[in-house]
Chains A and B, each alone.
Chain A
Amino acid sequence: MEHERYHMINFEETELRLGLPGGKGNDGEATKNNGKRGFSETVNLKLNLSTKEAEGDESGKMKEKSSIAPRSTDPAKPPAKAQVVGWPPVRSFRKNIMAVQKASSEEEGDGKKAGNSIAAAFVKVSMDGAPYLRKVDLKLYKNYQQLSDALSKMFSSFTIDNYESQGTKDFMNESKLIDLLNGSKYVPTYEDKDGDWMLVGDVPWGMFVEFCKRLRIMKGSEAIGLAPRAVEKCKNRC
């Protein structure tokens, strides 16, 4: 029942792996190159709320796969300054408003400043069973791994049953995806601009930041329903 979740239970590890066209784990599907950025890396996305050892494990695994490629933006743009939380003291609604207006003015060829990539992108995060929402600024993270670490810290008070990770998620293969989701207790999902709920990790990080309207850490059993759509959209984006 809901009440149980509030007490000390160990969180399990969920692994998501992206196998996108042109990359590994593709089951040999033809790569369609339509000019969009290829995304051949695989990313391990784990909601890991356990100890440091596991984190150590993870980074080891990460190095093996040499996977994380931070979503690099246009080299002409100045590197993002390390952001201190809550500084400068500008309220969120001001940050978001400016971001949207600047983005649209840039589209119109205004281009007064090189990059708008640094403005904030706040989205709400809910977790099934948690009594309140949190908010994250997606612009603070460069990749799925960083986001996942942050989410772990945020929801560490709510931990869930431990169990062995079941292997990787392959967005191109529906039955594999469903198997994994069946095994996962909690899975991160997001609502995109079309209002659809998608599995986190299905698109390149930069796209995700743009599309994501809100996050929901959903029960694996419910997330299974998203698998077919995930596969569908993945194929469409190839």
Chain B
Amino acid sequence: MQKKMMYSFPDDVLEHVFSFIQSDKDRNAVSAVCKLWYEIERWCRRKVFIGNCYAVSPRVVIKRFPEVRSIELKGKPHFADFNLVPDGWGGYVLPWIVEMAGAYPCLEEIRLKRMVVTDESLELIAKSFKNFKVLVLFSCEGFSTDGLAAIAAGCKNLRELDLRESEVDDLSGHWLTHFPETCTSLVSLNISCLGSDEVSFSALERLVGRCPNLKSLRLNRAVTLDKIANILRRAPQLVDFGTGNYASELPPDVLLNLAGAFSSCKELKSLSGFWDVVPAYLPALYSVCSRLTSLNLSYATIQNPEIIKLVSRCPSLQRLLVLDYIEDSGLEALASSCKDLQELRVFPSDPFGGEPHVSLTEQGLVTVSLGCPKLQSILYFCHRMTNAALVTIAQSCPNLTRFRLCIIEPKTADYLTLEPLDVGFGAIVEHCKDLRRLSLSGLLTDRVFEYIGTYAKKLEMLSVAFAGDSDLGLHHVLFGCESLRKLEIRDCPFGDKALLANAAKLETMRSLWMSSCTVSFGACKLLGQKMPRLNVEVIDETEPPDSRPESCPVEKFYIYRSVSGPRFDKPPFVWTMDEEGKIMH
């Protein structure tokens, strides 16, 4: 009897089938079926995502996947966003570019997050990849507009240049003139982070005018309101637009012109920018509001009633980013007008002010949760909270996948009952079964971690600050959260016991950050010794950690799994605990 197995299909058939499988997880699963599938899959993988640039070396990636066209890399730990990671820590992209320049001449897309990108890297990209199309630099730093000029000049088929939230040495607006007249391929341009007062406006206008496929354009603050109408008229096909400065003293006819320009953009669904907003010019947007699905007012210092007027006109809104000037009353208006809301982010206008100066409380969030049951993602900064409010939110929004609450004063209790907020957050993890990301704040005991360990089975990322009583808290999380990938903790009384007891768990996660806790140097050394597939990096800016007794707590450490061993680009203040119990530097 002949055994003709399913997998004796010819290779190219398998390859064709695999080409329909795009998600990384599925691709990884496919490659694990058998050696043959592994081989075929690796030759036809076109997209690679590397969540920690130090988890694997570029050479290893290139060796396994020789035909990659698109790569995404992430560098620094998330807490680098809040200045907890000293400058010079690492996350350099240059070694990757150097290796890929030789190995991937057909590379088309590079997406980076929290990495250090130099002008040299950008120049190398422009030179090495003839068909380069997409460059996304999300929260990156280390480069200047000179590097951007190289990209503009060198990448003939550039489709996307997105510098969102990056820190760029903005030497002059002149770099825009480096886009050749022949460049017509741009689909997305985001330069909102550029800081200088200059922009080469005529170059920008011409560029926009000759790119018929431009769908997303986010300008920087240097572009003044009077220029926007011209830009919009040249790109009526825009779907996503970020204004520059939204203030000036315009004569009334210019305002009318602006309104006309906005209304001519029939596809416009997303707006952002709005620096220095003068409320009188907001009506220019009204014609667009009914179609808007995304609105970012988080740089706009407007208050009510202007915010309410705007938001009430946007019934299709799915995503709103706004400052706490919206207040509870504005959130009420949001709740009644925007039934399709999926994402809400409320930022503090005065994060360091002592007393709240706006009337934004837990009530606002409760109202939105009751009115917008489709909510999936919440980021909310406020000054007070109650367990009851959190329970209501949890019950009203069972589809939450991301819940980040920041009560500005650390260790703030339920202001009505004076109890910890354990029960409230417990309700969130219990009711929101698909919760993937959670940030805690307020007064919290070990109890909240017990709830998290019990219920948060899909949780992938947890951020903890000023919470817990003992190691038991940390233990609950490491033991119970099956899907945990990233854990970041600061200022919690977590020490060695829970960490060492759950050492194996760390190999199933991408990374663990702990700072201002009570984990000792000895424990870090032990982990480094016993767990060769983990990189245990102690960060100490004052002196080598072994100049103190082993029982001394380390100020900061970062542990991540890696198949490529300790990294070689550590700065002087990062110490690796290696297998021989030595600290490497």
Report yes or no: B355 in contact with A78, Cβ–Cβ below 8 A.
yes
Complex partner residue of B87 from A81, A89, A112, A133, CB under 8 angstroms: A133
* Beta-carbon contact of B82 and A119 below 8 Å: no
Are A89 and B406 neighbours in the complex by a CB distance under 8 Å? yes
Task: Determine chain B's interface SS by DSSP, over half rule.
Answer: loop
What is the minimal beta-carbon distance from A44 to any residue of chain B, in angstroms? 22
B572 close to A87 (CB less than 8 A): no
Interface contact A98-B87, CB-CB below 8 Å? no
8 Å CB interface, A83-139 against B: 83-95, 97-98, 101-102, 104-105, 112-113, 115, 118-120, 131-135, 137
Are the CB atoms of A86 and B83 closer together than 8 Å? yes
On chain A, the residues within 8 Å of B494 by CB distance are: none
Q: Complex formed: what's the CA distance from A133 to B408 in Å? A: 30
Question: A186 → chain B, closest Cβ, in Å?
Answer: 17
A115 CA / B351 CA spacing, docked (Å): 12
Complex Cα–Cα for A177 and B87 (A): 32
Q: CB-CB < 8 A to B352: which residues of A?
A: 80-81, 83, 118-120
Determine which residue in B193, B406, B439 has the highest number of CB atoms from chain A within 10 A of its CB, and name it: B406
Find out whether the CB atom of B86 lies under 8 angstroms from the CB atom of A92: no
A104 to B571, CA, bound (A): 39
Q: Tell me whether A101 and B301 are in contact in the complex, defined as CB-CB below 8 angstroms, given that A86-B490, A90-B347, A118-B353 are known contacts.
A: yes
Judge whether A153 is part of the interface by a CB distance below 8 angstroms: yes
Known contacts A78-B354, A86-B490, A91 near B165 by CB under 8 Å: yes
Interface string of A24-42 (1 = CB under 8 A from B): 0000000000000000000
B491 to chain A, nearest CB (A): 8
Given contacts A112-B357, A153-B542, A157-B541, is CB(A98)–CB(B350) below 8 Å?
A: yes
Q: Is the CB of B82 within 8 A of A113?
A: no
Given contacts A98-B349, A98-B350, contact A134 B406 (CB under 8 A): no
Does A156 sit within 8 A of B, measured CB to CB?
A: yes
Give B280-301 interface residues, CB cut-off 8 Å to A: 298-299, 301
A135 near B348 with CB under 8 A, answer no
Pairwise interchain contact A93-B276, C-beta atoms closer than 8 A: no
Which chain B residues border A84 with CB–CB below 8 Å? 410, 491
Q: Which of B82, B276, B572 contacts A91 (CB 8 A)?
A: B82
Looking at the complex, which one of A92, A98, A112, A118 makes contact with B83 (CB distance below 8 Å)?
A92
Q: Is B86 a contact of A134 with CB atoms below 8 Å?
A: yes
A135 contact set on B, CB distance < 8 A: 83, 87
Is B82 touching A86 in the complex (CB atoms < 8 A)?
yes
Q: Bound complex: CA of A95 vs CA of B353, how far in Å?
A: 12
Nearest A residue to B466 by beta-carbon distance?
A87
A157-B572, A157-B573 known; A94+B347 contact, CB < 8 A? yes
Chain A residues contacting B84 (CB-CB under 8 Å) are 85-86
Per DSSP, are chain A's interface residues mostly helix, strand or loop, or mixed? loop
B72-114 contact mask (Cβ, 8 Å, vs A): 1 or 0: 0000000101111011100000000000000000000000000
Cβ proximity bits B439-460 to A, threshold 8 Å, 1 near / 0 not = 1000000000000000000000
Contact status A88-B408, CB under 8 Å:
yes
Contact A81 B354 (CB under 8 A): yes
Does chain B have a CB within 8 A of A154?
Answer: yes
Interface membership of chain B positions 363-390, coded 1 if the CB is closer than 8 angstroms to chain A and 0 otherwise: 0000000000000000001000000000
Q: Nearest chain B CB to A97's CB is how many angstroms away?
A: 6
Q: Which residues of B contact A134 (CB under 8 A)?
A: 86-88
B465 in contact (CB, < 8 A): yes
Interface centre among B81, B167, B352, B572, by most A CB within 10 Å? B352
When distances are taken between beta carbons in the complex, the residues of chain B under 8 Å from A154 are 86, 541
Question: Judging by beta carbons under 8 Å apart, are B349 and A93 in contact?
Answer: no
With a cutoff of 8 Å between Cβ atoms, the chain B residues found around residue A133 in the complex are: 87-88
Partner of B276, one of A80, A92, A101: A101
Residues of chain A within 8 A (CB-CB) of B276 are 101, 104
- List chain A residues, Cβ under 8 A from B301: 98, 101-102, 105
> Is there an interface contact between A94 and B298, defined as CB atoms closer than 8 Å?
yes
For the complex, what is the distance from the CA of A64 to the CA of B193, rounded to whole Å?
48
Chain A residues, Cβ within 8 Å of B86: 134, 154
Q: Closest approach, in angstroms, between the C-beta of A76 and any C-beta of chain B?
A: 14
Least CB separation from A117: chain B residue: B352
Given A85-B84, A132-B88, A156-B541: A90 and B354 interface contact (C-beta under 8 Å): no
- How far does the alpha carbon of A28 sit from the alpha carbon of B299 in the complex, in Å? 51
Contact residues in A for B571 (Cβ distance below 8 Å): 131-132, 157
Q: Is B350 touching A113 in the complex (CB atoms < 8 A)?
A: yes
Knowing A98-B350, A101-B276, A156-B542 touch, does A113 contact B165 (C-beta < 8 A)?
no
Alpha-carbon distance A22/B177, docked complex (angstroms): 52
| B325-357 near A? 1/0 per residue, CB < 8 Å | 000000000000000000000011111111101
Quote the shortest CB–CB distance from B94 to chain A (angstroms): 13
Tell yes or no: B275 within 8 A of A by CB: yes
With both beta carbons as reference points, the residue of chain B lying nearest to A137 in the complex is identified as B83
Docked pose: A98 CA to B42 CA in angstroms: 48
Chain B residues with CB below 8 A from A153, complex form = 541-542
CA distance A6 to B571 in the complex (A): 11
Q: Which chain B residue lies CB-closest to A83?
A: B352
Say yes or no: A93 contacts B165, CB within 8 Å.
Answer: yes
Q: Mark B527-555, 1 if CB is under 8 A from A, else 0.
A: 00000000000000110000000000000
Residue from A85, A87, A91 having most chain B Cβ neighbours under 10 A: A87
How far, in Å, is A104 (CB) from chain B's closest CB? 7
Whether the Cβ atoms of B88 and A131 lie closer than 8 Å is: yes
Given A101-B275, A132-B88, A157-B573, CB of A90 within 8 Å of CB of B351: yes
B41-79 interface code vs A (CB 8 A; 1 in, 0 out): 000000000000000000000000000000000000001
Q: Mind listing 17 A-B residue pairs with CB under 8 Å? A: A78-B355, A79-B354, A86-B83, A88-B348, A88-B406, A90-B347, A90-B351, A91-B81, A91-B165, A93-B193, A102-B349, A113-B353, A119-B352, A131-B88, A135-B87, A156-B541, A157-B571
Residues of chain A having any CB pair with chain B under 8 Å: 6, 78-81, 83-95, 97-98, 101-102, 104-105, 112-113, 115, 118-120, 131-135, 137, 153-154, 156-158
20 extra interface residue pairs, beta carbon distance < 8 Å, beyond A86-B83, A102-B301, A132-B88: A6-B572, A83-B352, A84-B410, A86-B82, A87-B410, A88-B348, A88-B351, A88-B381, A89-B439, A91-B165, A105-B301, A115-B353, A118-B350, A118-B352, A132-B87, A132-B571, A133-B87, A135-B83, A153-B542, A156-B542
Q: Which 8 A-B pairs have the closest CB atoms?
A: A132-B88, A86-B82, A157-B572, A118-B352, A134-B87, A86-B84, A90-B351, A89-B82
